[in-house]
Amino acid sequence: MQDTAQTEPLAASRASIAAAHERIASVIRRTPVIDVNVAGIATPVTLKLELLQHTGSFKPRGAFANLVGADVPAAGVAAASGGNHGAAVAFAARALGIPAHIFVPEATPKPKLARIESYGAKVVLAGERYAAALARCDGFVEESGALAVHAYDSPATLDGQGTIGLELEEQAPDLDTLLVAVGGGGLIGGIAAWCHGGPKVVGVEPATCNALHAALAAGRLADVTPSGYAVDSLGASRVGALVFPLARASVDHVALVEDADIARAQAWLWSELRLITEPGGATALAALLSGAYVPAPDERVGIIVCGANTDPAIFAKESP
């Protein structure tokens, strides 16, 4: 769904992403890629194992891109998060010696809360959904002067997440298509900015957390009411305002998957690769396994496996 009429400058570009990568390369992990065989798919599928990033998700890339070299006030940094972004900001802040306040919804899973607290951040429970946590965070920033680090809708965050695309181009240069899970859109926005004119970028959303799908269908930002299995990491009620033009310009389309498809993708990653993934981390693969995205016979597909922060007990029913 490329928008050839785009005239406004976009929030991220190959140049800004390359600059961000140079800035943060020493504090992030260059995560590996592996090729796997998937039943019914003629060519190997390339997985970018971003769940092996610091804190168990891709989010430290954007967090460090916001903080490295920034003029951070004495009040430190503040972020609203469903869990993974908060852990990433807390981790980056600790690494750089900066105090951090993280505002999370009351429904945030306990493993994610524990991870944030383990990095020394002050955690504030605020409301039932991400929007309430964001409102509390914004209020704190206004009162304290802390530096806000947005989970997906800032140029630095988009640049940081886009470094995944830069690395993957070097690691697997022959890919035709990338499948990318979507919540607020920082991951797909950054990757789409890097891949513009290169591999086709396809978003994958749960049918019950479909902010980007709804926005592209409406031709404008649109509100949704997120729910379901992956709501803790993909449950944005509106895609980012900076993300939407990038998606219109460089995302081919969005495929929707059901909660059962995501659970099956989690089970596949555990059974075949012994990878523990959270629902959001398995969502992109769910499109391939369920048939929501069907590649051509010779198409080379890459998938971002983007998060691992879940309770490992859900995988314990199967004996090793």
Mean of pLDDT over the chain: 93
Centre a 10 Å sphere on the Cβ of residue 301 and count the other Cβ atoms it contains: 26
Task: Please check the confidence at residue 317 and state whether its pLDDT lies above 70.
Answer: no
Question: What is the mean predicted confidence (pLDDT) over 178-206?
Answer: 97
Q: What is the pLDDT of residues 229-288, one digit of tens each?
A: 998 889 888 999 999 999 999 999 999 999 999 999 999 999 999 999 999 999 999 999
The pLDDT score that the predictor gives to residue 310 is: 87
Complete edge-to-edge strand list for the sheet that includes strand 200-206: 33-36, 45-49, 301-305, 177-181, 200-206, 253-257
Lowest-confidence segment of 23-37, 121-135, 189-203 by average pLDDT: 121-135
Which of residues 161 and 317 earns the better pLDDT score?
161
Task: Please check the confidence at residue 6 and state whether its pLDDT lies above 80.
Answer: no
**Percent of the chain residues topping a pLDDT of 70:** 96
Q: Which CATH class is domain 60-148?
A: alpha beta
The CATH label, of 3.50.50.60, 3.10.129.10, 2.60.120.200, 3.40.50.1100, for the domain at 14-58+154-315 is: 3.40.50.1100
Question: What is the mean predicted confidence (pLDDT) over 214-232?
Answer: 94
| Positions of CATH 3.40.50.1100 in the chain | 14-58+154-315, 60-148
Task: Please check the confidence at residue 5 and state whether its pLDDT lies above 70.
Answer: no
Question: What is the mean predicted confidence (pLDDT) over 196-209?
Answer: 96
Task: Please check the confidence at residue 4 and state whether its pLDDT lies above 50.
Answer: no
Task: Please check the confidence at residue 169 and state whether its pLDDT lies above 90.
Answer: yes
Task: Please check the confidence at residue 66 and state whether its pLDDT lies above 70.
Answer: yes
The pLDDT score that the predictor gives to residue 7 is: 56
Model confidence at 183, pLDDT cuts 50, 70, 90, reads: very high
Task: Please check the confidence at residue 109 and state whether its pLDDT lies above 90.
Answer: no
Question: What is the mean predicted confidence (pLDDT) over 126-136?
Answer: 86
